[in-house]
Amino acid sequence: MSGGVLAIRPRALGDVVLVTPALRALARGFPGSGVEVVTERRYAPLLEGLEGVSRVWVLDRTWRATAALIAALRRRSFERVVDFFGNPRTAAIAALCGARVTAGYELRGRRRAYSLRVPRELTLAAGRREHASATHMRLAVAAGGAADGLETQVAVSPAARATAARLLAEAGVPEPGRAVGLVAAGTWPTKTWPLSHAAVLARRLLGARHAVVAILGPGEERVGTDLETLAPGVAALPPCDVAVLAAVIERLFAVVGTDSGPRHLAAALGVPTFAWFGPTHPDTWNPPGERHGYVRTDLPCRACDRTRCPHWNCMPGLDPERVSLEVLDHLARHGQAAGLGTAARA
């Protein structure tokens, strides 16, 4: 078999979700051929069975595994490949997989990997920034895709839904349609609210008769334990894979917290969200639509994209009482109908 389109996006959680509109555009631009995707093993279930995705190739993080994957892709004989990541490994896959057309971002050190290149960043008026999903869409369209909006989508299997229902029941959340998922941690320390602030919000949510489920990533178990101590009544979600996490989030009333992958999962599943922003920019990372609210620091250095900061005070400066009021107001306006809808689907 030969022909078809290969898309590459190995990680991370939110970025894999945000590339799904571009995958849909490629499927529309090349009808009948199907889009095949390279991603890391843990994210494969989100794409398997997604409309327009005909196959998912798993990328493991060793060069031996990468070489074996490249050999398999060469045998598949793709017509074109689109690299939505652009690190040395994915550029090598794009350049060596044997596709006639290779597309990627204009990045120093990777130009020769692609026959077709687009800028990864655009300069917009008045300090605005392009949404991450729109950036991927530009690349997809340049590679021959047909734009079909920026709505994100993920796949959720029946098996994942069954496991999610069991985990929530075991965590003491019998009515997830009234539960709020709280993301109190983050991959960047600089974009994470102090845990004491998140605990204030958790107590306010509990006081408003919402169950609160702490959504934790690998290695964040201590955050859940401390949050349960600071806000008695919070239920920490047990460790689970990404497929089950999506199924858990699908059942919730809303997801609030750090600008993070779980929040993008929630948006893709039609669940309302609310986030706080400091070093990252809401233009780039906030899901579109009024159901996805946010608050951000007013410091002049905001949206610096720093993962470390010697004078970090943007996130501590977001008053937890004020933010809690904004979150509760947002949920009152957008959470209930969506929460009932997602619960009904589960």
The count of domains in the chain is 2
Q: Global pTM?
A: 0.94
pLDDT, tens digit (0-9, with 9 covering 90-100), for 154-196: 999 999 999 999 999 999 998 999 999 999 998 899 999 999 9
The answer to whether residues 326 and 197 belong to one domain is yes
The answer to whether residues 240 and 177 belong to one domain is yes
pLDDT, tens digit (0-9, with 9 covering 90-100), for 255-266: 999 999 999 999
162-186 as b/e, with b when 16 or more CB fall inside 10 Å?
ebbbebbeebebeebbbbbbbbbbb
The C-alpha R_g of the chain, in whole angstroms, comes to 20
The answer to whether residues 114 and 214 belong to one domain is no
Last residue of a domain, one of 116, 142, 168: 142
Say if 147 falls within a structural domain. Answer: no
The answer to whether residues 166 and 225 belong to one domain is yes
- Gap between the Cα atoms of 346 and 113, Å rounded: 44
The answer to whether residues 193 and 249 belong to one domain is yes
Say if 148 falls within a structural domain. Answer: no
The answer to whether residues 162 and 129 belong to one domain is no
Q: Please report the pLDDT score of residue 339 as a whole number.
A: 39
Q: Please report the pLDDT score of residue 290 as a whole number.
A: 95
- Gap between the Cα atoms of 172 and 213, Å rounded: 10
Last residue of a domain, one of 94, 118, 142: 142
SS3 190: helix
Task: Find the domain containing 278 and state its range.
Answer: 158-345
Do the beta carbons of residue 22 and residue 152 sit within 8 Å? no
Neighbours of 149 (CB within 10 A): 11
Last residue of a domain, one of 83, 112, 142: 142
What stretch of H or E contains 35?
A: strand 35-40
Say if 217 falls within a structural domain. Answer: yes
The answer to whether residues 33 and 124 belong to one domain is yes
Average pLDDT over residues 305-328: 96
- The CATH number of whichever domain residue 89 belongs to comes to 3.40.50.2000
